[in-house]
Amino acid sequence: MSRRSWVPELPLLAALLFASFGPVAASAVAAAPEVTFDQPTATATLGGSTSFTIGFTSATPPGRVELLRHGPRDEGDLVSVAEVSDAGNGRYTATVVDRGHTLPNTTFLYRFRVTTTVGPAVSDEQRFTVSDQRFQWRVREGALIRLHWYQGDDAFADRALKVGDEGLAKATALLGVTETEPVDFFIYADESSFREAMGPGTRENVGGRAVPSIRTLFALIRPSEIGSSWIDSVIPHELTHLVFGTASDNPYHFPPKWLNEGLAVYLEPGGYSADWRARVELAGRSSTLIPLDGLALQFPADRDGFFLGYAESVAAVDFFVRRYGQETLVKLIRSYAAGVSDDDAFRSATGADLAAFSAAWIADMRGGAAAAVGPRPAPPGPLPSDWTAPSVTSQPSAKPPPSITTQPATPPPPATTQPPRVSSSAASIAPALPSATSAGSPPGSASAAVV
């Protein structure tokens, strides 16, 4: 279960989403009996804003009104100051508006706190779940997976559930994790609808996304793709991200992205396939391999670099298993749950830090790493003529400043006219298999990634 505080996503698109929340009981006052609350409301607009509103009566003018909210798996509240309008006669309305995209199936537990000179009063906690109401969703439940789809027949749903249950079992068996909470899996039938749901900043190659914090997967799967290899790739890939999140969850930081993505690709039916090998070998021969620390947070934005990131990730996981064994890989991943650093996790598992592992992997690839890019230390400037060292016989009244030196920092394929897809998790992605020798995808290869 995630212990990271919920943070709203940044803005995007426009399609109507509404709140679905449970029955609201008469409000209760926690501390200040002169404050009574009305029933609160919450609404969300896809790509627009999420609003929380409550009316209340107070015999004393409020000094401060706040919204307190959190996700079902968060340990603390996100506190926002509300805007308050005075209707007179002790009646007030408080509103908080978040202008930013919120993913479908995101749930908030929220309440308002009114502070007067008498003290604080807190409304009853309410539950609000954002839902994508553009479609008539059908629901089919498996062992743990709850499938939501709106196009395609029962056979479509049955196959997706079967692949999902098998993928979940494989990932949990490997990582020694027991999943007990349901997983919601939403399938979108066209690219436009999928991207509107995912929000701004979603890369054009992404065709799936896993969000462990809300136990939800999203994927772009057209009904015509029911028999394609894309289903066999995207569903297990995203589920692996979810199980990886359960195994490594900690309140401090995420494990390296390449480790998460590499495991997800490694557990796909094709695993470290010939296509991925060819891409990595080509980068090695041309000395353009990306060191693993360059794949710790995000993959390159350009298409070739993006898919190279996936290829290197699964290659690094394959190398780790060959050198240290699968049990040690599991030990490495699960050690992150203790909140250790990357170097500490790798030292505990392999006896050396992450940089040493990256260097050993690049050497195993028999290739060279790309030259580092980015900010570099500026060369020292000329020394002013008056900045001379003091003589032995005289002491200056003020020591001139020293010269400044800088220390260097020690996918199922879409139509052929469409870009390839990938799936992603809080940003985890599983890619399609583009050609290692050209920008285009080879016949029959997947052209999207899953994150």
Are 105 and 243 part of one and the same domain?
Answer: no
Q: Which pLDDT value is given to residue 203?
A: 84
Q: Which of 186, 150, 181, 155 is CA-nearest to residue 168?
A: 181
Q: Which pLDDT value is given to residue 155?
A: 92
Which of 20-29, 143-152, 162-171, 420-429 is least confident? 20-29
When divided into structural domains, the chain yields a total of: 2
Which of 39-43, 360-364, 377-381, 392-396 is least confident? 392-396
What is the DSSP-derived secondary structure letter of residue 214? G
Phi, psi angle pair for 276, to nearest 5°: -65, -40
Are 231 and 343 part of one and the same domain?
Answer: yes
Are 323 and 174 part of one and the same domain?
Answer: yes
Q: Which pLDDT value is given to residue 296?
A: 95
Rounded to whole angstroms, the Cα distance separating 14 from 174 reads 41
122 pairs with which residues across the strands?
A: 113
**184-198, pLDDT tens digit by residue?**
999 999 999 999 999
Are 178 and 64 part of one and the same domain?
Answer: no
Which of 17-21, 132-136, 186-190, 296-300 is least confident? 17-21
CB of 313 within 8 A of CB of 291? no
**358-374, pLDDT tens digit by residue?**
999 988 887 666 666 66
121 pairs with which residues across the strands?
A: 114
Rounded to whole angstroms, the Cα distance separating 155 from 334 reads 37
**Radius of gyration, CA atoms only, the chain:** 27
- Residue 158 located in a structural domain: yes
Q: Which pLDDT value is given to residue 165?
A: 92
**296-340, pLDDT tens digit by residue?**
999 998 889 999 999 999 999 999 999 999 999 999 999 999 999
With a cut of 70, say whether residue 435 has pLDDT above it: no
Rounded to whole angstroms, the Cα distance separating 74 from 1 reads 9
Q: How confident is the model at residue 46 (pLDDT cuts 50, 70, 90)?
A: confident
Q: Which of 325, 328, 320 is CA-nearest to residue 357?
A: 320
Q: Which pLDDT value is given to residue 84?
A: 98
CATH number at 186 reads 1.10.390.10
Average pLDDT, the chain: 82
Domain encompassing residue 229: 138-371+420-431
Are 90 and 211 part of one and the same domain?
Answer: no
